[in-house]
């Protein structure tokens, strides 16, 4: 059977992708960040998952405002890279896993998570930057990817509690798939940041540390964080962190933290990375 | 799994959104007001549209059912006004990119800083939430 063996939490700041694409990773601004991700890249290369479930959000690229799905599961064979307004990132196309994605939809809907099914979708930096951070710059991505896009742009985003329960249902769904597959789930976005209005630039390292600790040791505390707390304490865009709770919910009760990295800034963002292995 | 945690009532949520200083929360009502503005911004993902817009900005904006106030804010690149009138930052970024500017430039403009001042603030650890959690806290700090 297929198994979710680990979870990765990581920011997906677009400027990180641009730094890689434009050869700036050795510049003083960026070098500490990429050095900090090196152990995560090595972990990924050792772990060699067959499939990544990528929990991320679209940034007005695949979806405009005509339709705003709260949870959208990518069921396509391939996901082209979006042109977000400055040309598509020069990264390989993303290969999906339609058979497993269809199984996830079947299982999740019967488990009362009413997923939106997406059969054609471009993917933006929310999905490609985490792949770049963990996989580097290969000719082809080393695994198949099932995108799970979450609305965190128009309030209200789904609650942390709902996200955590969705993660639990994903764990169950993956475990009932017949192939022997190693699956790693990513929760992306965050950490604390605000990128709009006179309060732009707000970050909160204390909030982020408590969040990272909670992922490791007390996730049920994190699911009780209310949307307003994210807004007030960690910035308008910190609500993206609910996506990390889908990842955490999918790991089962016991986890082992194998890596953590934290860095300010990437553009306007406090960057966090955590790797949790399911025990 | 635990019981559903207790929630704040919706009305209180909306009032609390307004209490966060320097922030326009993109909720359902603001999204409704900004729909045509955001569709205009979304159209700037296509290179042909970017060129058409830059060639005659007022004319291009007339293709979308924006309000006059939204149209004026677009032409003036009045970023905070655009947020207030329902623009969402990721869509606004497409206007900044059309101008050949960076996201950080747009953010700095929203804060009233130069781009360099803004980048320096982030390099020094960013903006602390102290004094920015509520309008009352802001008034006390100001």
Residue B65 scores a pLDDT above 90: yes
User: Do residue A155 and residue B26 have CB atoms under 8 angstroms apart?
Assistant: yes
Determine the distance from the C-alpha atom of residue B22 to the mean position of all C-alpha atoms in its chain, rounded to a whole number: 10
Instruction: Quote the pLDDT of residue B20.
Output: 94
Residue to test with chain A: of B2, B80, B85, B89, most A Cβ within 10 A: B89
pLDDT above 70: residue B120: yes
Q: How far apart are the first and last CA of chain A?
A: 16
When pLDDT is cut at 50, 70 and 90, the band that residue B9 belongs to is low
Instruction: Verify whether the Cβ–Cβ distance B88 to A156 is below 8 Å.
Output: no
Distance from C-alpha of A97 to C-alpha of B105, rounded to nearest angstrom = 39
- Asked if A65 lies within 8 A of B122 by C-beta distance, the reply is no
Q: Could you say which of B39, B45, B121 has the minimum Cβ distance to residue A84?
A: B45
**How far is residue A183's CA from residue A143's CA, in Å, rounded to a whole number?**
10
**Sign of the C-alpha dihedral computed for residues A153, A159, A160 and A166 taken in this order:** negative
Chain B residues with CB-CB distance to A204 below 8 A: 128-129
Which chain A positions have a beta carbon within 8 Å of B41's beta carbon?
Answer: 60
Judge whether A204 is closer than 8 Å to chain B, CB to CB: yes
Helix residue ranges per DSSP H, chain A: 14-21, 31-47, 98-110, 125-135, 160-175, 205-217, 219-222, 227-229, 242-249
What's the pLDDT score for residue A83? 87
Q: Which of B1, B22, B134 shows the shortest C-beta gap to A198?
A: B22
Evaluate whether B14 touches B27 at the Cβ level (below 8 Å).
yes
Query: Would you identify the CATH topology of the domain A3-266?
Result: Protocatechuate 4,5-dioxygenase; Chain B (3.40.830)
**Cβ–Cβ of B90/A153 closer than 8 Å?**
yes
CB nearest to B8's CB, from A202, A205, A228: A228
Residue B140: its pLDDT value, please?
85
CB contact under 8 A, B128 and A155: no
Confidence of residue B15 (pLDDT cuts 50, 70, 90): confident
Instruction: Report chain A residues whose CB lies below 8 A from the CB of B90.
Output: 59-60, 153
How many alpha carbons fall within 13 Å on the CB side of residue B136? 1
Across the interface, whether the CB atoms of A202 and B126 are under 8 A apart is answered yes
- Alpha carbon A18 to its chain centroid, in Å, reads 18
A59 vs B17, B83, B90: nearest CB = B90
Residue B25: what pLDDT? 95
Nearest one of A121, A129, A54 to A91, comparing CA atoms: A129
Over residues B13-20, the mean pLDDT reads 85
For residue A8, report the phi and psi dihedrals to the nearest 5 degrees. -125, 125
Under an 8 A CB cutoff, do B45 and A61 touch? Answer: yes
- CB contacts of B42 in chain A (<8 Å) are 60, 64-65
Instruction: Please indicate if any CB of chain B lies within 8 Å of the CB of A200.
Output: yes
In chain A, the largest separation of any two C-alpha atoms, in whole Å, equals 52
pLDDT value at residue B54? 97
Beta partners for residue A54, in sequence order: A147, A186
The confidence score (pLDDT) of residue B14 equals 76
Distance between CA atoms of residues B123 and B134, nearest Å: 25
Q: State the architecture of B24-100 in CATH terms.
A: Orthogonal Bundle (1.10)
The fraction of chain B above a pLDDT of 90, given in percent, is 82
The whole-number pLDDT of residue B11 equals 67
CA–CA distance, A152 with A69 (Å, rounded to integer): 10
CA distance A75 to chain B (A): 24
Write out chain A's pLDDT in tens, 279 residues.
899 999 999 999 999 999 999 999 999 999 999 999 999 999 999 999 999 999 999 998 899 889 999 999 999 999 999 988 778 999 999 999 999 999 999 999 999 999 999 999 999 999 999 999 999 999 999 999 999 999 999 999 999 999 999 999 999 999 999 999 999 999 999 999 999 999 999 999 999 999 999 999 999 999 999 999 999 999 999 999 999 999 999 999 999 999 999 999 999 999 999 999 999
Query: What is the C-alpha to C-alpha distance for residues A207 and B133, in angstroms, rounded to an integer?
Result: 13
Residues in chain B with CB shorter than 8 Å from the CB of A59 are 90
ipTM of the complex: 0.93
pTM of this prediction exceeds 0.80: yes
Mean pLDDT of B134-140: 90
Q: How many CA atoms lie within 13 A of B124 on its CB side?
A: 8
Rounded Cα distance between B123 and B115, Å, is: 12
| B83 vs A84, A164, A196: nearest CB | A196
Tell me the pLDDT band of B16, cut-offs 50, 70 and 90: confident
Q: What's the angle, vertex CA A47, arms to CA A37 and CA A217, rounded to 5?
A: 70
Residue A251 pLDDT: 98
Instruction: Compute the radius of gyration of chain A from its Cα atoms.
Output: 17
Tell me the CA distances in angstroms from A58 to A27, A73, A74, A116, A248, one per residue in order: 28, 12, 12, 14, 20
Q: State both tokens at B68.
A: 């006059």
How is chain B split into domains, by residue range? 24-100
**Are A190 and A202 in contact, with CB atoms under 8 Å apart?**
no
Residue of A nearest to B133 (CA): A232
Mutate to test the interface with B, among A14, A24, A32, A65 (most CBs of B within 10 A): A65
The residues that bridge with A88 in the sheet, in sequence order, are A83
Instruction: Indicate the DSSP class of residue A90.
Output: S
Q: CA–CA separation, B5 vs A221, rounded Å?
A: 10
pLDDT of residue A276: 98
């Amino acid at each position: 059977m297929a198994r979710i063996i680990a979870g990765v939490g990581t920011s997906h700041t677009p400027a990180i992708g641009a730094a890689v694409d434009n050869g700036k990773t050795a510049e003083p601004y960026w070098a500490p960040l990429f050095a900090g991700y090196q152990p995560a890249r090595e972990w990924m290369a050792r772990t060699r998952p067959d499939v990544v479930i990528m929990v991320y959000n679209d940034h007005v690229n695949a979806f405009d405002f005509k339709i705003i799905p709260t949870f959208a599961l990518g069921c396509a064979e391939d996901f082209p890279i979006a042109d977000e307004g400055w040309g598509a990132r020069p990264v390989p196309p993303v290969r999906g896993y339609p058979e497993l994605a269809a199984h996830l939809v079947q299982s999740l809907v019967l488990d009362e998570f009413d997923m939106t099914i997406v059969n054609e979708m471009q993917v933006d930096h929310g999905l490609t930057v985490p792949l770049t951070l963990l996989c580097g710059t290969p000719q082809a991505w080393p695994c198949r990817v099932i995108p799970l896009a979450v609305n965190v742009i128009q309030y209200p985003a789904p609650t942390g509690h709902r996200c955590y329960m969705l993660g639990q249902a994903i764990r169950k769904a993956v475990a009932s798939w017949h192939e022997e597959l190693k699956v790693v789930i990513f929760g992306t976005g965050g950490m604390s940041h605000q990128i709009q209005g006179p309060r732009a630039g707000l970050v909160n390292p204390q909030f982020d540390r408590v969040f990272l600790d909670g992922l490791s040791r007390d996730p049920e505390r994190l699911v009780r964080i209310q949307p307003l707390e994210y807004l007030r304490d960690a910035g308008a865009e910190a609500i993206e962190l609910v996506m990390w709770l889908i990842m955490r919910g999918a790991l089962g009760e016991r986890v082992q933290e194998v890596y953590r990295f934290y860095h300010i800034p990437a553009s306007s963002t406090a960057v966090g990375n955590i790797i949790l292995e399911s025990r | 799994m635990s019981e559903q945690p207790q929630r704040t009532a919706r009305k209180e949520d909306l009032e609390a959104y307004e209490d966060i200083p320097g922030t326009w929360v993109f909720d359902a009502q603001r999204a409704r007001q900004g729909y045509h503005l955001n569709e205009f911004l979304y159209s700037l993902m296509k290179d042909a549209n970017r060129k058409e817009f830059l060639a005659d900005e007022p004319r291009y904006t007339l293709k979308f059912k924006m309000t006059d106030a939204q149209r004026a804010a677009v032409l003036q690149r009045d970023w905070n006004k655009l947020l207030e009138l329902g623009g969402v930052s990721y869509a606004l970024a497409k206007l900044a990119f059309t101008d050949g500017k960076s996201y950080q430039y747009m953010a700095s403009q929203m804060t009233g800083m130069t781009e360099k001042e803004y980048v320096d603030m982030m390099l020094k650890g960013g903006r602390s939430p102290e004094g920015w959690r509520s309008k009352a806290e802001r008034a006390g700090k100001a």
